[in-house]
Each structure stands twice: as C-alpha cells, then as structure tokens.
Amino acid sequence: MFEIKRIKFGNLLMLYNYLTIRYKVFVIELGRSALKELSKLDVYCKHYVLLLDTVVIGTSRLCYIDNVVELGRVALLADYRNKGYASLAISLLINQIKEEGKTNFIRLFTKNENIDFYKKFDFSESGIRFFGDDPYPYMTMILDLK
C-alpha cells in the first residue's frame, strides 16, 4: 500500500529516514551543497514521507507562503523511480491541498528534465529558467486550482 504521511519532528525514525533520503538524492546524486539543502524555510513547512507498505521510499514538503503553497523536495530513492510512485504522490498531495482549501495556487521549482512530468498534472511554466544555488537550471511552475 502506498501513502504519504506527514512527519512530526518528535518521530526521530521518520525524521532520520526523511533527512537521509533528502541527503542521498539532493546532495549525493544531484550535487547540491549539504549546507544549502536544509534551510530556515524547512522550519515552517509540512514535511512528508512517501511510504510503500512500511518502507520509506521518498520525501516531499509543502510550504504555505502568502497565498501560494510551494511543493518541494519531492524525492524518490533510485530503486523506486519510474514505477509510478512519484505520480501517485503528486496526485495525493494536490488532492490534499485542494481539500485544505487554503490556496488557489501550487508553485514548484523543478529541473528542466522534470517539466513534462509536472505538465501531466496541469502545471504550467511560469517565468524563465534560472540556476539558483545549483549547477543545473530550474523552471518555476504553477498549478491553478480554481
């Protein structure tokens, strides 16, 4: 069974799994600076693990900023990629955001190679490509929930 589960920072095992996956994917695989991977923004976000049965296979976070929710840190361990789990997670997160009814927009920043993936969920490109702190370009994408 696949599910997303919000983690509380008192649950040390879930927190450890969450941080380990973020480190493996964003720092080791993608080359992001370990010092830049975690930020003060993390304190204000809702953090989730992606569970397959009882195994933590991925992460995501939602940050409510002004009237927009920012979807970020979507990561899957390599063994679970290209099996539909990321699509399932994005669908579940979008539905959760809609049910909460706190915003009409979801924003995300994605690498160029993931743009078509997010377009399947009706996200559209917004703005120009940028590099930020990483060695690869990003695109801002927006999903209008209205």
- Split at pLDDT 50, 70, 90, the class of 135 is low
pLDDT digits (tens, 9 = 90+) for 70-88: 999 999 999 999 999 999 9
How far apart are the C-alpha atoms of 65 and 8, rounded to whole Å?
20
* Rounded alpha-carbon distances, angstroms, from residue 142 to 51, 60, 102: 26, 17, 16
pTM for the structure as a whole: 0.89
Kindly give, in sequence order, each residue whose CB lies less than 8 Å from that of residue 46, ignoring residues fewer than 6 positions away.
6, 61, 62, 63
- Could you tell me what percent of the chain has a pLDDT over 90? 73
Place domain 2-144 in its CATH homologous superfamily: Gcn5-related N-acetyltransferase (GNAT) (3.40.630.30)
